[in-house]
Structures are given as structure tokens and as C-alpha cells.
Structure 1
Amino acid sequence: MTTHTLPTPEYSRNMRLIGHSDQGGKPDGVQVMVHRGYAYIGHMVSQGFSIVDVRDPKNPRAAGFISAPPGTWNVHLQAHDDLLLVINARDLFADVRFADEKVYYTRSVSDTVQGTQQRGWSAGVRIFDISVPDQPKEIGFLGLEGIGVHRIWYVGGRWAYVSALIDGYSDYIFLTIDLADPRNPQVAGRWWLPGMHTAGGETPDWPQGKRYALHHAIISGDTAYASWRDGGLTLLDIKDRSAPQLISHRNWSPPFGGGTHTALPLPDRDLLVVLDEAVLDNQEDGEKLIWLFDVREPSNPVSISTFPQPDERDYVSKGAHFGPHNLHENRPGSFVSSTLIFATYQNAGVRAYDISNPYQPKETGALVPAAPATMMDKRPGRPQVIQSCDVFVDAQGIIYSTDYNGGLSIIEYLG
């Protein structure tokens, strides 16, 4: 048996690193799903997704890589039961026009890419049978016209929910997908913020330099909690999956910096954790926060507190992004809690919070992984700094976190 020396974390409190994987030499990771002892990891640079055997979390083993079609990235994916859903979208970071990330985060994507003649990518959702976990078999494909899909929410059953940039819209909008036959998925309904349907004659009424685009929605019951980057938060009534209806819309940008990324409902407490993603280096896009909303009255969500920010060192000047990126999303079959919340904080690593008192969230653990050994991100001038990206906590409480360059960190929570 080979023993691997683990990279030494830069900082840890109530957490310890127990395993690490370079994902078979492709250490760039975005979304991670751990399912039946295997981690499925979408990549930012390596076009495709990886499979890592984590049945022994202290000794993860690369177990496969599935390529994306040419010109396509697979940044996000979802696993449930025997199905794995993987996004196909144009690899935007391979496009020289997005070399400066400000271009991606401060204007509608369709404004930047319009006029592209050749369609050298695949747009839609690939559906795999993962009844043999390390041998995904593609069984279905939802093809779309446009840039493609950014992110999916799928936790079994008939319906999936995606953010998609389809022709005729300024940026990513909300689609409901009917998977009654996973071999033949169909778009059932759609919803967008007014001003996004350019082909319908709508014009944006939001400020220059703001990007209104659905990152993704998390669904609880018949409500979709949707995050629209600089467009804020919407609660949508999706009882009729073919005709989503607006319940409420809140936006705190300006004065805050926008970037709303994830809205995680805690239905047993009528609370909603809402995370704004830091998207520019050295906090150039302003301070980004994790908010707690009271949603007892869905037509009037009220922010009641913010989570404390990492302060054991000066992270703003450390380089790259400082601020929240993503939350562990309480998926069925994973670790589910309405009082213990896990988040990634990019150059400040992975954080755990106790929100038993919703008016006073407390940080209860942290781990900042070592700087990446190599840079996979080929955009010019990116600093060699950890950017903890996604976090998934399995039913045993083991934490899995990805980084754009630094591989998969497997962490034990000791709080």
C-alpha cells in the first residue's frame, strides 16, 4: 500500500485534512457530487468530468475521466439513484474574450459572444446511467440552441431544473426539464427576469456593469429558490412545472456587490441561506456576504443576519478571490442539517457555521488548503492561490472540496 503525503493546510480549526486527490492529473475541479462511494467532479479547464473512488476517503483513487465534446465544458453535474446529469456548455474560459474575468462577470454573456459564426460546442444536458458507478453510460441528451446549461438541480423523480443560456435571451434563465423518460428529456417551462428576453423585444433596465443571469435554483416542494447573480433572489411557484410564477423578488445590489449564487432553503425552520459569490480579485467587486433570510412569509423574505467573515488573517490582500463561493446543499442522501452550514470561501478555504441562533451565526470550523502545486487555469495573470470552489458533505459528515487548480481536499469536521 502506498502512503501519500498530504499537502499541509495553510490554516485549520476544528477540521483536519484526511485525504487529497489530483483527480488523475486533472486537479481543476468545480462541482463535486459524492454518490455510492464515488466522487463525480466537473472540470473548469480539462474538458470533461472525472470519477474518483472515495470509498476509503483517506486513500482516494482516480477511477475514470469522461471527455466533453470539443469546445465544451462540464463544470457542473448532479447524481441521484442511477442517473448522472452533466451540463454541456460552450467553454467560455477557453475564449480569449473572457481572459479578463471582469468580462464574464460584469456584462451579459450574449453581448460578448454575439456574432460567433461557427458553433463549435455542444449545448444541453447529457444523461448517464451510473448503475455501475465508475462506468457511466450515456443514455440521453437534451440539446439546446445557444451557449448551453450552467447548472442543474436534480434530486430524483420526474423533474430537473437548469439554468440555460438559449438563443433569444441575454443570459442564463430558469428551465424546468421533464425526465419522465430520461432517454428523451424535454423542456417543460421557463422563467426569466423581465428585460432578459431580447428576442421578445425586452430591453435590460439594470445598470451598466451588472450581470443579470440565473446561477441556479434549489427546489423545495413547489418552490424554486433562484439566485440571479446581480439580479438578486427570486422565489418561484412551480406547482405547474410548465408555467413558473413569481412569488417574490429581492435585490440588494446596489448597495451590495451582487453575485447572488446559491439560495439554500431550510424548510423545517422557514429559513433561507443566501450566498453572494465573490467574483473579482482582492474584493474589487465589494464585500460579499452569506445572508440568512426569514421566509415564513414567502411573499416577503426578510434578511435577519449575516454569517461572520474569516478574519484570522488579511484575506483581501492574499490574492485571487476572497469571499463566499458555494454551500453544501443538503441533498437527499448527503449530510442534511438546518443548523450546521458548510460553505467555501475561495482563498479562505472551507468554513462551517452553527446557525442554531439564526440572529447570530457562528463559525465553528475552518480549513484553508495549501496553495495549488500547479496552475491549470491558463488565463493570464491568475495568482497561484487556493480558490476553494465547491463543497459536498456526505452522510458520514466527511467534507469534499474542489479547487480550480488544487485538486480534491477530503476533510474531517471535528466541531
Structure 2
Amino acid sequence: MSALPSPEYSRNMRLIGHSDQGGRPDGVQLMVHRGFAYIGHMVSQGFSVVDVRDPTRPTTVNYIAAPPGTWNVHLQAHDDLLLVINARDLFADARFADEKVYYTRSVGDTVSDVQDRGWSAGLRIFDISTPAQPREISFLSLNGIGIHRIWYVGGRWAYVSALIDGFTDYIFLTIDLADPRKPEVAGRWWLPGMHQAGGETPDWPQGKRYALHHAIIAGDTAYGSWRDGGLTLLDIKDRTQPRLISHRNWSPPFGGGTHTALPLPDRDLLVVLDEAVLDNQEDGEKLIWLFDIREPTNPVSIATFPPPDEADYVAKGAHFGPHNLHENRPGSFVSSTLIFATYQNAGVRAYDISNPYRPLETGALVPAAPERMMDTRPGRPRVLQSCDVFVDAQGIIYSTDYNGGLSVIEYLG
């Protein structure tokens, strides 16, 4: 067994395992389910399966390729089903060689001149009753760029963000999985101005991108994050007709990039994370917010999480700021007081929000820089970019990196 890479910094966390994911160290979203990690790739255009039953010895056991021109950056696992997004591989498109184009302009506008359809758009569903051998059982085809992210925790309904023809960017769709072999779109919702084919005209500022990153569901409410379009709470009692409860947007004056809204229903709190999307904090400081949602029609921000300050991460290069939260999925580690986040070039962070007015950082681990670059976009610095974080029921932390593989971390706080 080779030595583990030495973290750049750690406090109350310890690196216990690492994997290059079978030579494909580019990772985005991961799910740990029944002792196996399912990892969507950013560059490698598919997803990998890593056996983590011994978290100190993660072993890659499978790789499932995406269709040509397609990426599988996000996925969800529950019971015997694995749901995987299919979308145009945008980072392989020269139009997006400068990442600023992706984050500051509607994707629909940028790709409006695309003539070919050399990619697959929709939702792939796999049977994972044999965890190391996903078997595709159905595909929901969509017209457009495809799906960005999914929320699925079992049962009849899945929820996706999708860029379909006629819209400026990704909108909210509900997917009926009453028969997982025959998935169907049931309902949809978007911010006013996004439905160009319906005659709507965007009214948001130049250089802003209004697009659903994804929604997390609690009960009959969908908590949606719309990048520069802020936060929505949707009533989804009728899954075919989502209805707006409230909409909040703090960009401007803040920089936007709203990425994840994690409800903590037992405390009437909502953790809302704004993603840092440009190098050296060019897009301004991004924050993790805590909202009081006792009155769903009037969400109120009551605190922000403290940013890492033990080093000059702005000067370090690449993105410094929040990206993902551990999302309290059923079967994983679930807490309404201990929150885990990735902070890109500042690694993985843990926060205690027992006092909701004073979040405290309780642990951190900054992995080593990647050994090699998988990101093929020109000029990307060889700096770690901790991407996703998943904490299993035993409290073991798993985190991906765009280039640096899978880190397995023990929390000591």
C-alpha cells in the first residue's frame, strides 16, 4: 500500500484513505451506498464505482462510460437504483474554454448556434442490486442540453435541473418513477423570463446567470438554488404543478452563485451555500448562509459561516470559497447541528451550528495538490479544488477533487 498524500493542513480531521479512481482522478458528485462509492467524472465522461467497505483501502471496481460527447457529473443512489445525469459535456466545448463564459452567461445563449446533436440528454437509470455492476434499465430522453443535477431519495419522485429546448438555462422538473423502467416528466417550474420559446424576456442584469443548480426536497417543499437568481421555496404537494412560496435574491450586492439549499426541518433552518466560481475570488467573497424558515413565505438570513482564515487562500490560486454541502441523505450521516462543506482550494470543513446565530468551524482538512491535471481547459492551475463531500452513517467523510482523486477522512472533532 502506497503512502497517503500529505494534507496541506488539518485540524480535527485525519486522512485515512485515498484513491485515484482507477486512473480517472477527476471527480464531481459522489454517493456512498452499501459500501461502494459512485463517482461522476468531470473530464472522463462517465462514472466510476469504488469499493470503500474498507475506507482505508478504497479499490476501484468498475467504470461505466458515458455516451459520446456526454458527461455524467452528477448522480444519486438509493435502494437498488442509481440515477445518472446525461448532458452535453460543456467543458469539452471550446465555447466554455474560459470558465467565465459558463458562469456569467446563460448556457442556452452560449450554445444557441450548436447544429450537431452529438451528445445524449436525459436521465439514465441503473439497477445496482449488485453494487459493483450497475445495469442500465431505462433512459428518459430530453430535448436540449440535458440534466445538471438530481435529487432522489427513494419512492416515486425524482427532481432534476434540466436545460431543455426553449429555455435560457436549467429549470426545475419533477420526474415520475412509478415505474423506474418508464420514467416520465410530470411537472416543471422556472423563474419568470427563462421561457424564451413562450415569449418571455430575461430581465436580470448583464453578466448574471439565472439557472437552477438543483433543489433539495423536504416534505412537500422544494428548496431551489438558482445561481445568480437566488433561492426559491416551492410547494410541490401537486408534483405536476409546483407553486412558488417565496423567492429571495441577495445578488447584488453579493456575488450570486447560489448552489445548495439544505433544509434542517427539525429546527426550521436552511443552510444556503453560494459557490465561488472564478479564480482568486474575482467573483467576490462567497458565503454559507443560515436562514430561519419558520415562516416559509419570509425566509430570513440570521448568520453566515466563518470562512477559512489560516492561510491566504485567495492568493493560492484557482477557486477559493464554498462549493458543496453534505446533504443529510437518508442512510448517510444526518445532523441538524454538524454541517460539512467543501471550500475548493481550502479543502473540507466542518461547522457546529448548535447556536444558529454563531456558526463555528470545528474541523478542516486541505488535501495535497493533484499529482496531475485532468482538467483540459487552458491555463487551469494545479491547485486542489475539493468538490463534493459525502459523510456516511459511520461519520467517515469522502471528498472528490476535479483532478486529485478521492480523499477519505476521519472526523476527530
TM-score interval for Structure 1 and Structure 2 normalised by the shorter chain? over 0.9
Task: Give, as a single letter, the amino acid of the residue that structure 1 aligns with 2:158.
Answer: A
Q: CA deviation at 1:4?
A: 2.1
Match of 1:281 among 275, 279, 282: 279
Task: Give, as a single letter, the amino acid of the residue that structure 1 aligns with 2:63.
Answer: F
C-alpha distance in 2 between matches for 1:170 and 1:353: 36
Match of 2:161 among 151, 160, 163: 163
Match of residue 302 from structure 2: 304
Match of residue 369 from structure 2: 371
Q: What are the superposed Cα offsets for residues 76-101 of structure 1, whole Å, 9 maximum, x if unpaired?
A: 00000000000000000000010000
Task: Give, as a single letter, the amino acid of the residue that structure 1 aligns with 2:400.
Answer: T
Question: Is the partner of 1:105 in helix, strand or coil?
Answer: helix
C-alpha distance in 1 between matches for 2:285 and 2:194: 26
C-alpha distance in 1 between matches for 2:314 and 2:329: 31
Match of residue 264 from structure 1: 262
Question: Is the partner of 1:97 in helix, strand or coil?
Answer: helix
C-alpha distance in 2 between matches for 1:283 and 1:272: 25
Q: CA deviation at 1:329?
A: 0.0
- Give the structure-1-normalised TM-score: 0.99
Task: Give, as a single letter, the amino acid of the residue that structure 1 aligns with 2:52.
Answer: V
Q: CA deviation at 1:377?
A: 0.1
Task: Give, as a single letter, the amino acid of the residue that structure 1 aligns with 2:44.
Answer: S
2:210 pairs with 1:212 = yes
Q: What is the 5 A alignment of 1:219-368?
A: 219-368=217-366
C-alpha distance in 2 between matches for 1:114 and 1:269: 44
- Give the structure-2-normalised TM-score: 1.00
Match of 2:138 among 137, 140, 148: 140
Match of residue 88 from structure 1: 86
Q: CA deviation at 1:320?
A: 0.1
Q: CA deviation at 1:115?
A: 1.7
Match of residue 407 from structure 2: 409
Match of residue 120 from structure 1: 118
C-alpha distance in 1 between matches for 2:161 and 2:142: 12
Task: Give, as a single letter, the amino acid of the residue that structure 2 aligns with 1:247.
Answer: I
C-alpha distance in 2 between matches for 1:347 and 1:32: 18
Question: Is the partner of 2:150 in helix, strand or coil?
Answer: strand
Match of residue 74 from structure 1: 72
C-alpha distance in 2 between matches for 1:50 and 1:135: 10
Task: Give, as a single letter, the amino acid of the residue that structure 2 aligns with 1:76.
Answer: H
Task: Give, as a single letter, the amino acid of the residue that structure 2 aligns with 1:404.
Answer: Y
Match of residue 42 from structure 1: 40
Question: Is the partner of 1:365 in helix, strand or coil?
Answer: strand
Match of residue 396 from structure 1: 394
Query: Which sections of structure 2, spanning at least 5 residues, go unmatched?
Result: none
C-alpha distance in 2 between matches for 1:168 and 1:291: 33
Q: What are the superposed Cα offsets for residues 18-39 of structure 1, whole Å, 9 maximum, x if unpaired?
A: 0000000000000000000000
Moved over 2 A (4+): none
Q: What are the superposed Cα offsets for residues 162-219 of structure 1, whole Å, 9 maximum, x if unpaired?
A: 0000000000000000000000100000000000000000000000000000000000
Task: Give, as a single letter, the amino acid of the residue that structure 1 aligns with 2:292.
Answer: D
Task: Give, as a single letter, the amino acid of the residue that structure 2 aligns with 1:79.
Answer: A
Q: What are the superposed Cα offsets for residues 125-147 of structure 1, whole Å, 9 maximum, x if unpaired?
A: 00000000000000011100000
C-alpha distance in 1 between matches for 2:304 and 2:45: 36
Question: Is the partner of 1:323 in helix, strand or coil?
Answer: coil
Question: Is the partner of 1:50 in helix, strand or coil?
Answer: strand
The size of the alignment, in residue pairs, is 413
C-alpha distance in 2 between matches for 1:175 and 1:145: 13
Match of residue 384 from structure 1: 382
Query: Which sections of structure 1, spanning at least 5 residues, go unmatched?
Result: none
Aligned-residue Cα RMSD (Å) equals 0.3
C-alpha distance in 2 between matches for 1:261 and 1:231: 10
Task: Give, as a single letter, the amino acid of the residue that structure 2 aligns with 1:315.
Answer: Y
